[in-house]
Amino acid sequence: MYPFLLVGAGGALGAMSRYGISVLIGRLWPMSFPLATLLINIIGSLAMGLFVGLMARLLPTWQNEAHLFVAVGILGGFTTFSSFSLDAIVLIERGEMVQAISYVLLSVVLCLIGLYLGLLVTRGVA
């Protein structure tokens, strides 16, 4: 149960942070381009890289709890793109290039298709 609480608490913080930053960016730079989402994905991916790199060096004994609270919870709630980016880089660093490329392409293409199909279903088209 404790791991779920760590992820849940972190996820709530991450989601609230994402919303707050989105609102702030929307007020500062109102535009039709999804700048807030882009910036959040970049910030979250950078934060994931920094966290995972530092965690490996500084927190080996707290690694599991810190990973659940920060990486899965906070950063996962902030943007799942950071998790996606970490998964892709891990595959690349392992030398699994075919799997990495497949993962990136399948994730982007199939997620776009999935979202579009969901919209079609709700619009009564599919």
The total domain count for the chain is 1
- Cβ neighbour number for residue 92 with a 10 Å cutoff: 15
Contact between 62 and 2 under an 8 Å Cβ cutoff? The reply is no
* Structural domain range at position 33: 2-78
96 Rama sector, left if φ>0, alpha if ψ -120 to 50, beta otherwise: beta
Band of pLDDT at residue 8, cut at 50, 70 and 90: very high
**Token pair in block for residue 92:** 């690349």
Integer Cα distance of 95 and 92 in angstroms: 5
Q: For the chain, give the mean pLDDT.
A: 91
Residue 20, in any domain of the structure: yes
- pLDDT the model gives residue 9: 97
Residue 59, in any domain of the structure: yes
The model's pLDDT over 89-118, given as tens digits with 9 standing for 90+, comes to: 999 999 999 999 999 999 999 989 988 998
Residue 6, in any domain of the structure: yes
- The 3-class secondary structure across 90-124, one letter per residue, is HHHHCCCHHHHHHHHHHHHHHHHHHHHHHHHHHCC
Residue 95, in any domain of the structure: no
Residue 35, in any domain of the structure: yes
Q: Is 122 annotated as a binding residue?
A: no
The model's pLDDT over 38-55, given as tens digits with 9 standing for 90+, comes to: 999 999 999 999 998 888
Residue 63, in any domain of the structure: yes
Residue 52, in any domain of the structure: yes
Q: Is 76 annotated as a binding residue?
A: yes
Integer Cα distance of 57 and 63 in angstroms: 10
Residue 93, in any domain of the structure: no
